[in-house]
Chain A
Amino acid sequence: MGRSYLDLSKDEKEHALALHKESIVIDSSIVSVIEYVTEDMWLDDVMKGGLTASNITVGMQRRFTEALQQIIEHNHWAKKNEDRVIVVKKASDIERAKKEGKHGIMYGPQDSMFLERDVNLLDVAYDHGLRAMQLTYNWKNEVGDGCREKKDSGLSWFGEAVVERMNKLGILIDLSHTGDQTCWDAIEQSKDPVSFTHIIPRRSAPEKVGGYAEWANRATSLWGDFVGYSKQRGKPDDMMQACVEKGGVIGVTPFFAKKSGPSNLTDDLMDQLDETVDIVGVNNTGFGSDLEFPNTVMRAAFIYKNPDRIDVDYFTPMDKEWGYGFMENMPNFTMGLVARGYSDQEIKKILGLNFLKLFKRVWGA
């Protein structure tokens, strides 16, 4: 059993919080909410959690115009909030965000469908700020196969062209939801390092489902059986190793971490993080919450309306300890790293420096 983040001494806790505060903290996968009705709820939250930058999921539409519209909307929003927000286009923008106490957002669609089978449209998206892209979501698209498909036939011709263009423009390839064969093809064909922004090692997927997973199994057919889905979303050791050999980074997500029973999410996440470090080393491990803020909003509304069901209905895998899905609880993560005995320098790498280095390499400084 690894040490719990709850067992830190007073000094250790203070140290962890100070360390969190001074570090560059990157969340490599999150879904934002910027509608005016929520006011600054999302931005306030990620800033309260000490996040320096986040890779936000935009552009999940099937039409290019609509995807672009969402990106441009974020650009306008960032401009309006320029005292607090920077649109990240190069790695130094993240360092600047840290220095100026702002939050950096980068655009990373979790699907490439919006390209409508035209590789040139990547150039347009890049010009408006696109800096990362997942080749596929869970399903088959024109580029490749997702991890939930029955068969995976690897990258298509179009997929190869997309990989090539992403390399040329300097857009980070993300393979978190992509199927195994398509992942292997992309790792092999990409000239630049690639990344998994929010996964777990396949072998660490819990065999039994906890509270959220039970709810997800009952309430939605989106993912099918949750344990099965955890494994599909997990990646095998050799693939993770192939990714890092090319200089890639693995972001560990808490989405699938929770074990059944009375364990807590942070410690369970640390178990998977320790395992990831065992597989790929401390220089290639990072963090991606996979937090879907629209669900967090829904969860908060549901609790407000049905306070008696506060611990019965989930909507978000991040439980009470994480404020039911608010990133303000992000320091828990750093406390966990301290509890597991990582050095300050190692912690800073995991919190953000590893991804920063990768961005520098793929995007340019």
Chain B
Amino acid sequence: MSRSYLDLSKEELAHATALHAESIVIDASTVGFIEHVGEDMMLDDLIKGGVTASNATVCMQHNLSEAMGELAKYHDWAKKKQDKTIIVKTSEDIVNAKKDGKTGIILGPQDSQFLEGKTRFLDIAHMMGVRIIQLSYSWRNFAADGCWEPRDGGLSKYGFELVEAMNKKGMLIDLSHVGDNSTMDAINHSKVPVSFTHVCPRETTPTGLSKYAEWSGGERFTKIALERGRTNEALQACAEKRGIVGVTPFFAKKAGPSTYTDDLMDQIDYCVDLVGVDHVAYGSDLDYRNSVTRAAYIRRYPEKIDVSYHTAMPKEWGYGWLEHTPNLTKGLVARGYSDAEAKKILGENWVKLFKRVWGE
């Protein structure tokens, strides 16, 4: 058994905490919410968690105008909250966010459907700040087949064009939810590195049911988890092209009394063994709307606090609040990563990739 993040000595704990505070920490996949009624709940949480920048899922609509409307809202909001946040357009913005104690927001749709099948709309999306796009969500769209489809025919003609256009425009391709064949097509066709912002290796995806998995669909959850898991072939091909694998805790939890952080570390260790420490990073896949709902639910039904889940992140992570991100660094220290390695996994690998792909 590998060492637990709970077994750190007092000195190690202090070291991990300091390391976390000084590092650039990037969460490569969250679902943000910026409604005025929630005030700064999300920003405060990210800042408290020492998250330097996060990739927020936006533009999940099926038409361009509504997707752009959402982005406009993000820009207005960021301007109003400029003492706490910045919309990230360059890797330099992330470095500055760290310096200024802000938390940067990267705009990254998890589906390309908002482009309505027209690569020329990438210009508008880029102008509005989009820097990462997942080619497809878990379903089929005009470009690719998602990982939950029964059959995957690989990229469409338009899908290949989209890859080329994103390369040209300097936008990072994300393949986290894309089907196996489409994924390989994209990796092979892309001229620049691609990424998985939030995945687990299929090989190590737990198949026993955690409490959350039980709440969230039982056996069906396991099936979905395996489909969302990436093959070793895809992970290695991505890394060979100098891409990054963001490991998600979403599917990491094993059945039984294990801790979530340690289970996540097992996935990270496996990925590091497979593709090397220069190609592994982190993406929580945290959906803030679920965290909020969960918090409301707990307040309403305190007796059901450990019965109803709503978010994959358990008590240890405050039922889905990124203020607990330092647990990640504690885990890395427990697993014996050097400071330089931990910093790469926490954020530097992403910064380097962004710099390269975004064409700076």
Contacts and interface: CB of A to CB of B under 8 A. Distances in A.
Interface stretch (A34-42, A100-108, A111-119, A273-281): A34-42
Contacts of B308: 39
B37 A299 contact: yes
A305 B300 contact: no
Contact of A303 (B37, B39, B294, B299): B299
A35 B297 CA distance: 13
Contacts of A41: 296-297, 300
Nearest to A297: B296
- Most chain A beta-carbon neighbours within 10 Å: one of B35, B291, B297, B298: B297
Interface string A274-315: 000000000000000000001111111111110000000101
Contacts of B298: 304
Contacts of B290: 37
A298 B297 contact: no
Interface string B301-340: 0000000101000000000010000000000000000000
A300 B37 contact: no
B293 interface: yes
B122 interface: no
Interface string A172-187: 0000000000000000
A219 interface: yes
A1 interface: no
Contact of A298 (B292, B294, B300): B292
Contacts, number: 60
B274 interface: no
B317 to A, nearest CB: 14
A241 B35 CA distance: 38
A63 to B, nearest CB: 8
A41 B36 CA distance: 22
B38 interface: yes
Interface in A206-254: 219-220, 222
B13 interface: no
Contacts of A304: 295-296, 298-299
A39 B39 contact: no
Chain B facing A: main interface SS? helix
B221 to A, nearest CB: 14
Contact of A300 (B36, B296, B310, B321): B296
A299 B293 CA distance: 10
A362 to B, nearest CB: 33
Nearest to A61: B66
B116 to A, nearest CB: 14
Contacts of A305: 41, 295, 321
Interface residues of A, number: 22
A219 B296 contact: no
Given A37-B310, A304-B298, A297 B39 contact: no
Interface in B122-177: none
Contact of B293 (A35, A222, A295): A35
A120 to B, nearest CB: 22
Name the interface size band of chain B. Answer: 20 to 34
A222 B321 CA distance: 28
B39 A38 contact: no
Contact of B36 (A38, A39, A222): A222
Contact of B297 (A39, A220, A294, A313): A39
Contact of A302 (B38, B293, B310): B38
Interface in A19-51: 35, 37-39, 41
Given A37-B310, A39-B308, A41-B300, A300 B295 contact: yes
Contact of B39 (A35, A219, A222): A219
A304 B293 CA distance: 11
A54 B321 CA distance: 34
Nearest to A326: B300
Contacts of A37: 289-290, 293-294, 310
A41 B295 CA distance: 12
A300 B41 CA distance: 12
Nearest to B323: A305
Contacts of B310: 37
A70 B208 CA distance: 35
A38 B292 CA distance: 10
Contacts of A298: 35, 37-38, 292, 296
A301 B289 CA distance: 10
Contacts of B41: 301-302, 305
A49 B37 CA distance: 24
A83 to B, nearest CB: 20
Contacts of A220: 36
Nearest to B304: A39
Interface string B190-216: 000000000000000000000000000
A124 to B, nearest CB: 20
Contact of B292 (A39, A222, A301, A313): A301
A35 B293 CA distance: 10
A27 B321 CA distance: 35
B319 to A, nearest CB: 9
Contacts of B293: 35, 37-38, 297, 301
A38 B296 contact: yes
Contacts of B297: 38-39, 41, 300
Contacts of A299: 37, 296
Interface centre among A294, A297, A313 (most CB of B within 10 A): A297
B199 to A, nearest CB: 23
B299 A295 contact: no
A222 B73 CA distance: 13
Nearest to B289: A37
Contact of A313 (B39, B289, B295): B39
19 contacts: A37-B294, A38-B293, A38-B296, A41-B296, A41-B300, A297-B293, A297-B296, A300-B295, A300-B296, A300-B297, A300-B300, A301-B41, A301-B293, A301-B294, A301-B296, A303-B299, A304-B298, A304-B299, A305-B321
Given A299-B37, A300-B296, A304-B299, 5 more contacts: A41-B296, A297-B296, A298-B37, A301-B38, A305-B41
- Give the top 5 A-B pairs by smallest Cβ distance, nearest first: A300-B296, A301-B295, A304-B295, A301-B292, A304-B299
